[in-house]
Amino acid sequence: MVGDWTTLTETQEKVDHEASTLAAFYLDVSRYPEPHRGRLQNDPRRYTREVIDVAWPEQQKGIVPRGNVANVADLANDLAAFEPASEEQKTLHRETYDRFNELVERRRSRLLGVTAGLSSACGGSFTSGR
């Protein structure tokens, strides 16, 4: 029971960190000029819907979600398409890329948490493939 509680707490922390990073990313891209702003704001919205509607239900079943890869790729592509025109935009763009990389790390941590929870629940007989 203690192990289950610890896993639940760790999972909640991972989800909270990912959500906080996504919210900060959204605030960053809200400072971009149009038309980039619209695309960069739409990408996190789609990402969030995918996590809520697909990933979380799969995780609750012990399934490592494989979706959202396209949404992450869209985020990366839309960021790469922006060409900063001023020093202020260059700074914002660097910070936004840092935030994007943090989001990818947080996502990966959440996904690895699914297999880590299974590993401890199975007495260590399940490996995460790392």
Model confidence at 4: pLDDT above 70: no
Domain extent for 47 = 2-121
CA distance 126 to 90: 45
> Can you give the length of the chain in residues?
130
The pLDDT, as a whole number, for residue 44 is 92
Position 130 in a domain: no
Asked whether the predicted pLDDT for residue 122 surpasses 70, the reply is no
Domains of the chain: total: 1
Tens digit of each residue's pLDDT (9 = 90 or more) over 100-111: 999 999 999 888
Confidence of residue 12 (pLDDT cuts 50, 70, 90): confident
Mean pLDDT confidence for 114-118? 62
Distance CA 85, CA 32 (A): 11
Residue 89 has pLDDT above 70, yes or no: yes
Judge whether residue 53 has pLDDT over 80.
yes
For residue 22, count CB atoms less than 10 angstroms from its CB and return exposed for 0-12, middle for 13-18, buried for 19 or more. buried
- Residue 117 is assigned to a structural domain of this protein: yes
Does a structural domain hold residue 71? yes
Q: Please report whether residue 36 resides in a domain.
A: yes
For the chain, give the mean pLDDT: 83
The answer to the question of residue 129 being in a domain is: no
Residue 129: left (phi > 0), alpha (psi -120 to 50), or beta?
left
In terms of Cα–Cα distance, which of 2, 9, 18 is closest to 111? 18
Six token digits for residue 56: 């979380």
DSSP class of 33: P
- Does residue 127 sit within a domain? no
Per-residue pLDDT, 6: 54
